[in-house]
Amino acid sequence: MTHRPSLQEMLQKSSYQAYVYSYPHKTAYRSINPPISLEKLWSEENRKALFLYIHIPFCEMRCGFCNLFTTVKTDSDFVTQYINTVRRQANRVKSALGDATFARFAIGGGTPTQLPLHGLEAILDIAEETMEAKLQDIPISVEMSPETVDINKLTLLRDRGVDRASIGVQSFIDAEVLAIHRRQSASQVDTALTLMREAGFPTINIDLMYGLPGQTVDSWLQSIRAALRFQPEEIYLYPLYVRPLTGLGKSDREWDDSRIACYREGRSLLLSEGYTQVSMRMFRANHAPEASRPVYCCQADGMVGLGCGARSYTDSLHYSCHYAVSDQEVRHILEAFINTPDEAFDSANYGFQLDAEDRRRRYILLSLLSDEGLNQVNYCDRFGTDAFIDFPELSELIQLNLASLNNHTLVLTQAGIERSDTIGSWLFSDKVRQLMQAYNLK
């Protein structure tokens, strides 16, 4: 039996082991034998407010910190084959779903705007025509990079209803960008953000990263101030995590912990500029538009993922294609995806089946790691039990001043928010923990 570390033990380690924003992680997924019919699986789910996600696994470069499912070695024929396969998959998935309504849509990756204009349009057509998502009526987010932003793509995205453009900048300091194996320049970033703002996206998000090689607290704040010149509706502050098989993970560099100082100073600056902290990473401006369209609840509503690298969620099953980081393994999985016969898309054959405990743990984790907190009444309405009876260890968060209980809602304190990833990992079940530890990284 694997030793289950206490919260105190985990707090003594570095805060920066791994991102926790979903549950369980893909490294807990395994083959499903026999495969499960999607038609049967989704027939038992509420399909009135689903999240549609399409994954584009192509980038112009592999960042030194990146462990996402993506590749840089592509040609136009391979990209076309990939899009055609996503279309074939979408036809089978929509048939299995039957009557379904999508409340949100996102195109991620990879870098979706790495696609040529006609490829990007084809992906939007798959969402609107094949999956029947009403693109003009729901929130839509698309990820992009400075090198792939151009006015024609931005115009297409806005015309088709995209209202959130998210750009990975990481740093406005050229030397820091080079240190994480990116080629962009600060002037290129400025041009991209200017075009995005002129295109009229209601929400622009900028991703920034702290803990980069050569970065100081002062240069970190310089990047945040540079981002604020464009008045983004959202800013995400990501700590650098150095993970196996990534470019930085293969280096011999010793990583110091200036990250906590960067986080605290960055948080203070954004709060002083009128931003509200939504989670450890997300900050929303006071001028950001209010959500007025269909609302998706990540704790309760399902996700339908299309493309190699996308995950799908039901209440009891999370499933996807296989996962890899190394380019050779990613390419192998992509080729297998492109060669998948149509009928194979009718079933889930790789994923994780959530039992009653893991469904509760997922609900707690997703609630607690955001500003909404864990509402005991909502938890009881969903599961018919009390969260503190199901998981008495939650009281440790209060004892350690990492959370407080207000009006039946457990909310992380400032100290708890900055240790969100540690708290998230602590909430993992023994089953998930053991599967993750046994996973062979590829």
Model pLDDT for residues 274-283, shown as the tens digit of each residue: 999 999 999 9
Residue 167 has pLDDT above 80, yes or no: yes
Q: What is the pLDDT of residue 255?
A: 45
Model pLDDT for residues 46-88, shown as the tens digit of each residue: 999 999 999 999 887 666 556 676 777 678 999 999 999 999 9
Q: What is the pLDDT of residue 4?
A: 78
Model pLDDT for residues 223-276, shown as the tens digit of each residue: 999 999 999 999 999 998 875 444 444 454 444 568 999 999 999 999 999 999
Please tell me the total number of residues recorded for the chain in this structure: 442
Q: What is the pLDDT of residue 65?
A: 56
The answer to whether the CB of 123 falls within 8 A of the CB of 162 is no
The answer to whether the CB of 359 falls within 8 A of the CB of 391 is no
The one-letter amino acid at 213: P
Q: Which residue has the tokens 């570095």?
A: 14
Strands, sheet with 374-375, edge to edge from the N-terminal-most edge strand: 374-375, 409-412, 403-406
Q: Which residue has the tokens 């990501």?
A: 238
Q: What is the pLDDT of residue 64?
A: 55
d(CA 135, CA 251): 44
Joined together, the tokens standing for residue 30 give 């395994």
Joined together, the tokens standing for residue 79 give 């990209």
According to DSSP, the β-strands at 275-277 and 303-306 are unpaired
Lowest mean pLDDT among 63-77, 99-113, 163-177, 356-370: 63-77
Contacts of 215 (CB under 8 A, 6+ apart): 171, 173, 176, 258, 262
Whole-model pTM: value is 0.93
According to DSSP, the β-strands at 50-56 and 102-109 are parallel
3-state secondary structure of 180: coil
| Domains located in the chain, CATH noted | 28-285 (3.20.20.70), 355-438 (1.10.10.920)
324 vs 371, higher pLDDT:
371
- Angle among Cα 282, 284, 286 to the nearest 5 degrees reads 165
HEC-encoded secondary structure of 273-341: CCEEECECCEEEECCCCCCCCCCCCCCCCCEEEECCCCEEECCCEEEECCCCCCHHHHHHHHHHHHCCC
Residue 363 has pLDDT above 50, yes or no: yes
The stretch 337-362 carries a mean pLDDT of 97
Tell me the pLDDT of the chain averaged across its residues.
92
Q: What is the pLDDT of residue 69?
A: 66
Torsion angles phi and psi, residue 370, rounded to 5: -120, 170
Cis peptide before 34 (omega within 30 of 0): yes
Cis peptide before 24 (omega within 30 of 0): yes
Contacts of 164 (CB under 8 A, 6+ apart): 139, 140, 141, 142, 201, 202, 203, 204, 205, 234
Residue 295 has pLDDT above 90, yes or no: no
Q: What is the pLDDT of residue 246?
A: 45
Q: Which of 110-114, 127-131, 211-215 has the highest mean pLDDT?
A: 127-131
Q: How far is CA 270 from CA 122, 210, 244, in A?
A: 38, 14, 32
The stretch 136-144 carries a mean pLDDT of 97
Model pLDDT for residues 192-214, shown as the tens digit of each residue: 999 999 999 999 999 999 999 89
Q: What is the pLDDT of residue 328?
A: 85
Joined together, the tokens standing for residue 23 give 């549950």
Q: Which of 179-188, 255-264, 378-387 has the highest mean pLDDT?
A: 378-387
- Angle among Cα 229, 231, 234 to the nearest 5 degrees reads 125
Pick the closest to residue 269 from 259, 279, 277 (CA basis). 277
228: exposed, middle or buried (C-beta count within 10 Å: 0-12, 13-18, 19+)? middle
Contacts of 423 (CB under 8 A, 6+ apart): 7, 368, 369, 397, 402, 412, 416
The one-letter amino acid at 420: S
The stretch 81-106 carries a mean pLDDT of 97
Percent share of the chain, pLDDT over 90: 79
Q: What is the pLDDT of residue 110?
A: 87
